């Protein structure tokens, strides 16, 4: 008689014991036919339908939320179970559920007695509650997977390539519902309906609420992004709920590509736009947005007196050609490129000046933006002699991962830094994607010279990048794309830059077009402006496409893009909402009023009072003392800070995120403008006010001068009467009365806001 293997004997014995039941007489063996228990049914079902972790269980774990930060996806896990954050590593998660902890979470002999199922079904206490009741599809899928043997991935199954929803957008009336359908596409060309396994979320549930099964119900007017996710790939649908209007939508005409796209979206949403702003508001707005300064009284008078129909277009051209344009936008790029001598980036004062001059000279010369990006990305040389080389110096950690992540953020609007440690919470980017991107920058190296603090950026052609986890050499690959062939001796950064700036790259032109729109209108078409992931789509895709096309068709000329936006009806609309568009969030039915930036505000106060701000730094050596005529917008070094700039949100330049610059108002800011000795002393000792009082000018002339200086307009009759009444009540001290007037003017919302 052939002897059976020991493992088979144990399995047979266990099966017989379970089949016999507790009443079998001691010492007797009774063979009975297998009954259709839950276990055997699961095994039969598992044989009929292959169930593996990656294809069938990972989406379920994602839908149940088990791998989220507040559950087992936390850095230390919960209850001894640690899953990869957001389910980014299905293989590791399969091991954690089926083998870690001595395999105690699954019972392959009696799957329905698995600890995993007992907790999820509510038979045992579970901190997350009952997530998979008995009889549910989730429970049955897990039961099948355990009965089959907790397979990781079935190699016979095709690879998942993409996930789509059945609709790119859906226009709904309030209270109307529809069902999202989610389709997965695989490497063999097949598709599969995965709606039952997908997870859903809505960016604005008040506009469109989505249930766990994908049913969407419209609510208040607006636009919500609906995201359906299966195995960390997502499809997106826009749910649009138009506003009901009492009157027909107004007829709008447009010959500007900006206005064509914006007006079409406003009509779809039922948001009639605000009227065109007045000349004074436009002049003040465009001065602050383009050169960061207020118009002078003489400039305000001249513009008001100009009757030419194209005077706004001519003003825009003049401002784009002024030196102050380069000053103001070098400040903006200084924030993003982290031009700062001290910690944490440590470019040092000499490197700061070299870097800043290169940026400003590029703006003066109107260097095409694709060339600007390429020169930064492929730069080498001395940090004290080559401005672009400081692109690699100006990072907290001079390593390939940091260089790749900053390049992706700046030039693609892709926030891949999360993937350095774990899966991205919104996109399928993983540690592998981050490592492959970093491999383009693996050859960047640094060496010191005989000059104090100087470093030379150079390439080591033999250097490679090793995966932070596997420690294997990583081949470069584009984000979400293929791995290019890089010839021996070629600079991998050049390959990356060529791919990045190629016409049609879905990241490059849209990213900078969105940033420019954000800089000029205070809100991105994609918001936040450096978060360009597919699951954060533009509020108006046609608008972003139009701006990207304008930029690429004109040789990446950023001044041309400025000109197109500034000349649009959209930019020139009033900042005052109408009753019909007051609820607009991100569709630009009116110009979004916002507080001046820190540098704009202090420069405006100094301009009106004819005073100066002091800029100096004693860290690091050599100490820095700027001339007294220096405006805040001309300060190159982010290490030079004043209490005013810090209070009003100047970014520390530690990272390249747009959100580091804070334009929100606070009570501290209000109190500073009202009560600080800094502002009071500028008013009390204003050379301008002293000169005007000594000039013999009338009260009306001085009032006009200050209204034109601060608000670019003359006072209304009621405003003039109010000021003159105050002057009359303080006739014994004319200087003090005008100081009160000037102080009050500097504290109006109309002065502090760009509107």
The reported pLDDT for the residue numbered 670 is 95
Token couple for 348: 């040092």
> What mean pLDDT do residues 158-174 have?
93
The residue among 354, 437, 434 whose CA lies nearest residue 393 is 354
Compare 67 and 691 and report the one with higher pLDDT. Answer: 691
Residue 44 has pLDDT above 70, yes or no: no
What pLDDT is attached to residue 623?
A: 83
Average the pLDDT over 267-293 and give the result.
Answer: 98
Count of Cβ atoms closer than 10 Å to residue 10 Cβ:
12
pLDDT at 290: 98
- Could you tell me which residue, 320 or 69, shows the higher pLDDT? 320
Residue 681 has pLDDT above 90, yes or no: yes
CB 58, CB 93: distance < 8 Å: yes
pLDDT, residue 51, reads: 80
Query: pTM of the full predicted structure?
Result: 0.90
- The residue count of the chain comes to 755
pLDDT at residue 344 is higher than 90: no
Q: How confident is the model over 684-713, as a mean pLDDT?
A: 96
How many other C-beta atoms can be found within 10 angstroms of the C-beta atom of residue 173? 9
Tokens in use for 213?
Answer: 């099964």
- What is the structure's pLDDT at 137? 85
224-246 tens-digit pLDDT = 999 999 988 999 999 999 999 99
Closest CA to 444 of 458, 462, 465: 458
- Closest C-alpha to 753, from 676, 667, 664: 664
CA distance linking residue 401 with residue 420, whole number of Å: 8
Question: What tens digit of pLDDT does each residue of 116-147 get?
Answer: 999 999 888 888 888 889 988 889 889 999 98
Q: What phi and psi, each to the nearest 5 degrees, are found at residue 330?
A: -65, -35
pLDDT tier at 733, thresholds 50, 70, 90: very high
Does the pLDDT of residue 373 top 50, yes or no? yes
> What's the pLDDT score for residue 49?
57
Residue 25 has pLDDT above 70, yes or no: no
Highest mean pLDDT among 54-68, 343-357, 420-434, 504-518: 504-518
Cβ neighbors of 43 (< 8 A, separation 6 or more) are 147, 148
Is the Cβ–Cβ distance between 555 and 368 less than 8 Å?
yes
Write out pLDDT tens, residues 199-208.
Answer: 999 999 999 9
Q: Indicate whether 39 pLDDT > 80.
A: no
- In the predicted structure, residue 522 carries a pLDDT above the cut 50: yes
Residue 214, phi-psi category: left (phi > 0), alpha (psi -120 to 50), beta (remainder)? left
Amino acid 27: pLDDT? 38
Percent of the chain with pLDDT over 70: 93
Q: Is the pLDDT score of 28 beyond 60?
A: no
Per-residue pLDDT for 11 more than 80? no
Q: Average the pLDDT over 524-531 and give the result.
A: 96
8, pLDDT greater than 80: no
Mean pLDDT to the nearest integer, 318-345? 95
Q: What is the mean pLDDT of the chain?
A: 90
**What digits encode the pLDDT tens for the residues 403-421?**
999 999 999 999 998 878 7
């Amino acid at each position: 008689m052939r002897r059976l293997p020991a493992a088979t004997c144990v399995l047979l014995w266990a099966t017989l014991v379970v089949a016999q039941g507790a009443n079998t007489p001691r010492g007797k063996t009774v063979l009975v036919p297998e009954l259709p228990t839950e276990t055997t049914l699961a095994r039969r079902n598992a044989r009929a339908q292959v169930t593996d972790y990656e294809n069938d269980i990972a989406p379920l774990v994602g839908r149940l939320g088990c791998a989220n930060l507040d559950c087992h996806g936390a850095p230390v896990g919960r209850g001894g179970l640690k899953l990869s954050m957001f389910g980014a590593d299905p293989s590791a998660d399969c091991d954690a559920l089926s083998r870690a902890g001595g395999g105690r979470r699954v019972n392959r002999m009696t799957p329905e007695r698995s600890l995993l199922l007992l907790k999820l079904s509510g038979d045992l206490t579970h901190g997350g509650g009952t997530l998979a009741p008995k009889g549910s599809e989730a429970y049955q899928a897990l039961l099948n997977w355990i009965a089959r043997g907790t397979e990781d991935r079935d190699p016979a199954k095709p690879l998942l390539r993409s996930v789509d929803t059945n609709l790119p957008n859906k226009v709904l009336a309030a209270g109307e519902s529809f069902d999202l359908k989610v389709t997965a596409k695989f490497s063999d060309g097949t598709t599969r309906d995965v709606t039952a396994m997908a997870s859903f979320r809505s960016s604005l549930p008040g506009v469109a609420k989505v249930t766990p099964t994908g049913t969407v119900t419209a609510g208040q007017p607006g636009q919500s992004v609906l995201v359906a996710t299966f195995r960390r790939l997502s499809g997106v649908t826009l749910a649009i709920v138009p506003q009901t209007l009492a009157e027909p939508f107004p007829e709008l005409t447009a010959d500007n590509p900006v206005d064509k796209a914006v007006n079409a979206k406003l009509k779809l949403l039922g948001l009639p736009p605000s009227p065109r702003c007045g000349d004074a508001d436009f002049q003040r707005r465009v001065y602050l947005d383009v050169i960061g300064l207020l118009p002078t009284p003489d400039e305000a008078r001249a513009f008001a007196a100009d009757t030419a129909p194209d005077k706004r277009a001519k003003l825009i051209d003049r401002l784009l050609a002024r030196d102050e344009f380069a000053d103001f936008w070098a400040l903006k790029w200084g924030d993003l490129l982290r031009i700062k001598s001290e910690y944490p980036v440590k470019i040092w004062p000499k490197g700061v000046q070299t870097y800043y001059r290169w940026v400003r000279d590029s703006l003066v010369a109107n260097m095409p933006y694709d060339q600007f990006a390429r020169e930064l990305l492929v730069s080498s040389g001395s940090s004290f002699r080559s401005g672009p080389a400081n692109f690699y110096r100006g990072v907290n950690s001079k390593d390939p991962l940091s260089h790749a992540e900053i390049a992706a953020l700046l030039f693609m609007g892709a926030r891949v830094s999360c993937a350095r440690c774990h899966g991205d919470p919104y996109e399928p980017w993983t540690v592998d994607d981050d490592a492959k991107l970093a491999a383009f920058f693996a050859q960047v190296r640094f060496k010191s010279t005989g000059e104090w603090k100087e470093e030379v950026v150079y390439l080591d052609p033999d250097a490679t990048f090793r995966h932070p986890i596997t420690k294997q050499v990583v081949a470069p690959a584009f984000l979400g794309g293929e791995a290019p062939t890089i010839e021996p001796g070629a600079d991998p950064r050049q390959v990356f830059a060529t791919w990045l700036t190629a016409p049609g790259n879905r990241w490059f032109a849209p990213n900078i077009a969105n940033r420019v729109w954000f800089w000029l209108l205070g809100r991105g078409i994609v918001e936040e402006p450096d978060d360009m992931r597919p699951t954060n789509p533009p509020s108006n895709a046609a608008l972003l496409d139009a701006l990207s096309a304008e930029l690429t068709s004109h040789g990446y000329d950023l001044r041309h893009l400025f000109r197109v936006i500034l000349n649009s009806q959209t930019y020139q609309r009033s900042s005052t909402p109408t009753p019909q568009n007051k609820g607009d969030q991100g569709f630009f039915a009116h110009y979004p009023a916002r507080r001046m930036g820190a540098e704009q505000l202090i420069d405006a106060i100094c301009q009106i009072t004819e005073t100066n701000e002091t800029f100096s730094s004693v860290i690091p050596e050599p100490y820095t003392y700027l001339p007294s005529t220096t405006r805040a917008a001309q300060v190159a070094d982010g290490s030079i800070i004043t209490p005013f700039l810090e209070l009003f949100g100047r970014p520390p330049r530690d990272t390249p995120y747009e959100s580091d610059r804070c334009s929100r108002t606070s009570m501290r800011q209000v109190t500073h403008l009202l009560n600080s000795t800094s502002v009071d002393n500028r008013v009390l000792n204003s050379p301008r006010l002293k000169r005007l009082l000594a000039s013999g000018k009338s009260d009306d002339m001085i009032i006009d001068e200050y209204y034109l200086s601060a608000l670019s307009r003359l006072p209304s009759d009621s405003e003039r009467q109010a000021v003159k009444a105050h002057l009359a009540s303080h006739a014994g001290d004319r200087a003090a009365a005008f100081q009160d007037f000037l102080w009050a003017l500097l504290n109006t919302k109309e002065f502090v806001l760009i509107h």
